[in-house]
A and B are shown apart, each in its own frame.
Chain A
C-alpha cells in the first residue's frame, strides 16, 4: 500500500458478472462518479469504513474479458493494472465471476493473480447455478487459485456478510496469492518480458509480457521505453496475436479440470426460458415488430405519464413566483429572483419526470438483457449507415438526451463507427426539444383526433421525431462517405440470459442520471436565465428611459388603459434592451426563414440549451407573468408583424421554426461532451456547423414552401 493513502479495492470481472450490483451493495448511495485520469470513462467509486477511523476506496472498473482488450474501457483497466504508480492501482482485487459461466470468467482472474494482486474471488449467482441443478464445491478452485473464494448471490443477499468480513480481514493483511504464477511463460516470452522489466526496473515477469503486447498504447511508458520495447519485440520475433491466443488457450487447458471439479454440470436437454423468449423476441419478423411496439410504448409513457408531475411542478413554480411577488418588497432583486432565477429553476425541474421515466425504461431494457438483442437484430442495418449494432443503444438513448448516448458509444471499438454515432446522435429529438415542439405545434396543428382515438398533435410529434431519425440516418450516410476508415469492426457480443432486473441497480441508475441532469443542465440554464434577465432588463445608455417615456407619450396619445400600457411598456423596453439589440442585429440573417427579432433572441439563448426557448419567450412576451405555456402561447399567437396585419406565428413560420429546432445543435453540454469524447474541438465545431447549415437550409425550404 502506498504511504499516506487509503487502500484501494478494485472490483474487477467480465461484463455481466454482477459486478456493479455488488458495488451498489457495498456502497449504496455513497457513490461518486468521476473520470479516470485523461479519459472520459466513468470511474464509479465509493467509500467503505473498515473501523472507526479507517476507510477504503472501492472502484467499480469497467467489465473486462482479459488483459488483451478490445475497447477503450477495457484499455483503461489494463493501463491501471500494469502501472504501480497509477492513482487507482489497487491494493486488493475483488474479482466477481458468474458461477454459471465460471470457465470463461476464470480467465481474467488467473491473469490478475499472475500480476501479483491480492485477491478475493467472488463466485456470484450461485443461486442460479444451483437452480440449473449444478453443485458447487469451492475447495478445488481455492487450491488452484491460491486465494479466498466466496460463493454469493447479490440478488438475494446470500453470504454477503461473509464477503464483508473477508474484505476487512484481507485489507489488514494484503496477502499476495499463495501460488505465485499460474501461467508459465515460454522461453521466447520470458526473454522479452525479462528484458522489459529490467529496463523499467520493475519485477513482475507477466507485467513485462503485457507491456510487450501493448507498448503502443500503455500510457505510462515514455517514448524511449516504446522504442526500446518495439525494437526488442521485432528483433526477437515476438508474435503479438499468436502469443495472445496461445496464452489464452493454455490457461483454459490448465484450469479446465479445476472448473469441472468446482461446478458439476448437468446437461439439460430442455429449452431454457431465455431460449423460449428469444424465439419470439429475436424472430425474423416478430423481433422487429416487438422492438417498435416497445419504442411506441416508451414514447407513450413519456408523454402521458410524465404530464401529471410536470403540470404539478409548473403550477408549483407559478404559485411560488406569485407568492414571492406579492409578499416581497418591490426592489430590483425581487424581479431577478422571480423572473430570472425561479423561472430558470422551474425550466430545469420540469424535465425531471420525463427524464426519470425515460432513463428508468432504458435502464430496464439494459438490465434485463434486451438491449444486446437489439444490437444483434439491427447490426447489419446500422453497418449500411457506417455504424455498428451497438449504435442502436446510443440512438435510442438519444431520445432522452444526447449526452449519455454519446458516452455509450464508447463500447464501439471501431473509431469511424464510433465517431459517426457521436456525430448523428444529437439529431435524434431529445427530451429538451419537447417543450419547444409542444408550444409551436399549438400554432400549426388544430386540436382533435383522427379515427376517434389518435391525437392529431400526437401525429405531428411523431412526424418530428421521424424527421430527426431520417436526418440522423442520412447524415450518417454522408459521414460514411467522407470519413476515412481505420481499425477493424466487429459485432461479437454476449446475449446474456434474461434475468429479472435488480431494482436497486435500476433505481440507482435513474437517481444518478437525474441528479447529474439537474446539476449539469441546471447550472447552464440558471446562468442563462440570469444573463438573459440582465440583458432584457437593461439597455445601452438611456435607451430604457427613452422607451419608458415613449410608452408614457403613447399612453396619452392612444388613450390606453393601465393593462395595455403595461404591455406596451414591457415590449418597448425589451426592444430597447441589450437583448433587443442583439435580436435586431440577427434579424436580416434569419428573415428568409420567417423569423423576427424576438425569435432571434430565443435562437441566441437557445444555443446554450434548447429548453431555454420557452423561458425566453416567457421573458420577452412581457416580463412579469408566470411561465405557463398556455399564456405564452396566447401571447405569441396574438403577435402581429409591425406595419402589417400579418400574424408573426403563421403556419409557415411555426413549421420553419420547428424544423430548425429538429436539426440545429443548440446544446452547449453536448458540444462539451463531444469535445471530451473525441479529445479535440474539431469534431464539436464540425458537428455544430453541419447541423446549423442543415437546420438553416431545411427551415428556409419549409418557409418558402408554405408562405
Chain B
C-alpha cells in the first residue's frame, strides 16, 4: 500500500512539474515578442526594439545593433544559416540564432 502511494505521489509530482513547465514555456512564448530579426523577410526593414541578454549582446551593441536602429534584412547566405544585414552606413553578417536574440518593432 505504502509503495503504491509513493508511486502515485511521485507520478503526481512529476506530472505537475511537467505541466507547470509546459505552461511556463507557452506563457513565455505568448509574452515574448516573436518578431525577431531572424523572422524578417529579405528586403524588409524594421527598428530594433530590445536585445535578449546573452554573452554576445555587448558585441551586437558594438556592431551598432542599438535600440531604435534601423535594420534591413538584405539576403541569406548562399548555403543558409547566416544573414546579410544592413544598418545605416554599414553592413554585418550574423547567424540565425544571433539574429533571433534581436527583437524588432514594426516594419518600415
Contact = CB atoms under 8 A, between A and B. Distances in A.
Question: Chain B interface: which size bin?
Answer: 35 or more
Given A104-B64, A284-B76, A278 B91 contact: yes
A283 B59 CA distance: 26
A485 interface: no
B56 interface: yes
B66 to A, nearest CB: 6
Interface stretch (B6-14, B20-28, B77-85): B77-85
Contact of A375 (B51, B67, B93): B93
A381 B77 CA distance: 11
Nearest to A291: B78
Interface in B46-68: 51, 53-64, 66-67
Contacts, number: 121
Contact of A495 (B56, B88, B93): B93
A372 interface: yes
B75 interface: yes
Interface in A58-104: 65-66, 68, 70, 100-101, 103-104
A705 interface: no
Interface in A86-144: 100-101, 103-104, 107
Interface string A376-389: 11111101000001
B78 A284 contact: yes
B62 A66 contact: yes
A100 B89 contact: yes
A701 interface: no
Interface string A476-490: 000000000000101
Interface in A346-388: 372, 375-381, 383
A285 B57 CA distance: 32
Interface of B is mostly: mixed
Contact of B79 (A103, A252, A274, A378): A378
Nearest to B54: A241
B105 interface: no
Contacts of B80: 380
Nearest to A245: B57
B82 A490 contact: no
A70 B82 contact: no
B66 A70 contact: no
B95 interface: yes
Contacts of A497: 90-91
A596 to B, nearest CB: 47
B84 to A, nearest CB: 6
Contacts of B79: 377-378, 380-381
Nearest to A103: B64
B100 interface: no
B40 interface: no
A204 interface: no
Interface of B: 51, 53-64, 66-67, 74-82, 84, 86, 88-95, 98
Complex A-B, nearest 3 residue pairs according to Cβ-Cβ distance, in ascending order: A380-B81, A376-B93, A65-B62
9 contacts: A249-B67, A267-B88, A275-B86, A376-B82, A488-B56, A492-B92, A494-B63, A496-B90, A497-B91
